[in-house]
Chain A
Amino acid sequence: MINKVILVGNVGGDPDVRTLENNVKVATVSLATSERYTDSNKQKQERTTWHRVVLWRNLAEVVEKYVHKGSQLYIEGRISNRQYKDKDGNDRYAMEIVANDMKLLGKRDDNSGTTNHNTDVSPIGTVPPPSVDEMPADDLPF
């Protein structure tokens, strides 16, 4: 069976990078993809979709060093529907893309630009970041 996602888009805010209790690094990136299309009235439209991308270990290290708001990224991964409890104790589901490959696209910046850590600008809402329990147990090929 296949569960595959390919995204190319721009990062919406500075990534969130954390180190979990077992010393594993995880990064969460908000990625926007936009596409133009013609609607049923033949009008040109544009739509932007926001994706929550989770990167572990080595990929998280790369994110920490090189990825910031505005970075253009290529992401390959799989869909993961993570279950969590919201503040009222209700079961909620959040879809994330768990990356298994990432490429930095575009020009490399000379300076890293501003380092003010903006809060996430994407309309994804607040979902708790991954914890040790969410960490995928599979063997990563690197």
Chain B
Amino acid sequence: MVNKVILIGNVGRDPEVRYIAANTPTTTISLATTENYTDKQGAQQSRTEWHRVVLWNALAQLAEKHIRKGTQLYVEGRLATRSYTDKTGVQRSVTEVVAETVKLLGSHPQSTNE
């Protein structure tokens, strides 16, 4: 079975890394992908999707060091749905992209493409 996501987009805000346990950093990045397409009338249209991309461990550390608002990223991962209880006590579910590979794209101050 295959559950694969490939995204290239721009980060919406500086990631906040938190530590679940002593050596378990994690962060969730907001990534925007924009696509241009031609509609039925022949006009150019644009659509932007915002994705929640979850990074763990080494990837979260990479984000802490090198990912900021505006960074262009390549992300490879899988879709995962999790349930949580919101502040009014209602059960909710959210689907996120759990990253397995992250590459920094474009030019950035300390160019460290890993």
Tell me if B35 and A1 are in contact (CB < 8 A): yes
- A49-B81, A80-B49 known; A6 vs B4 contact (CB < 8 Å): yes
Tell me if A33 and B35 are in contact (CB < 8 A): no
Tell me if B93 and A51 are in contact (CB < 8 A): no
A131 within 8 A of B: no
From B7, B33, B45, A137 is in contact (CB under 8 Å) with B45
B40 within 8 A of A: yes
Tell me if A51 and B9 are in contact (CB < 8 A): no
B85 within 8 A of A: no
Tell me if A1 and B8 are in contact (CB < 8 A): yes
Tell me if A138 and B39 are in contact (CB < 8 A): yes
Tell me if B79 and A4 are in contact (CB < 8 A): no
Report the interface size class on chain A: 20 to 34
Q: How many A-B residue pairs have CB under 8 A?
A: 80
In whole angstroms, what is the CA distance A134 to B80 when docked?
24
A5 within 8 A of B: yes
- A50-B81, A51-B79, A80-B49 known; A7 vs B33 contact (CB < 8 Å): no
Tell me if A139 and B3 are in contact (CB < 8 A): no
In whole angstroms, what is the CA distance A5 to B10 when docked?
18
- Chain A residues with Cβ below 8 Å from B8 are 1-2
B58 within 8 A of A: no
CB within 8 Å of A: which of B1-42? 1-10, 32-35, 37-40
Tell me if B4 and A138 are in contact (CB < 8 A): no
B95 within 8 A of A: yes
- A2-B7, A3-B33, A138-B39 known; A33 vs B1 contact (CB < 8 Å): yes
User: B96's closest neighbor in chain A, by CB?
Assistant: A95
Instruction: Name 15 A/B residue pairs within 8 A (Cβ), A-sorted.
Output: A1-B10, A1-B34, A1-B35, A2-B7, A3-B7, A3-B49, A3-B51, A4-B5, A5-B4, A7-B4, A8-B1, A49-B3, A49-B79, A137-B45, A139-B39
Across chains A and B, which 8 residue pairs bring their CB atoms closest together, nearest first?
Answer: A138-B37, A8-B2, A137-B39, A2-B8, A33-B3, A3-B33, A95-B95, A4-B6
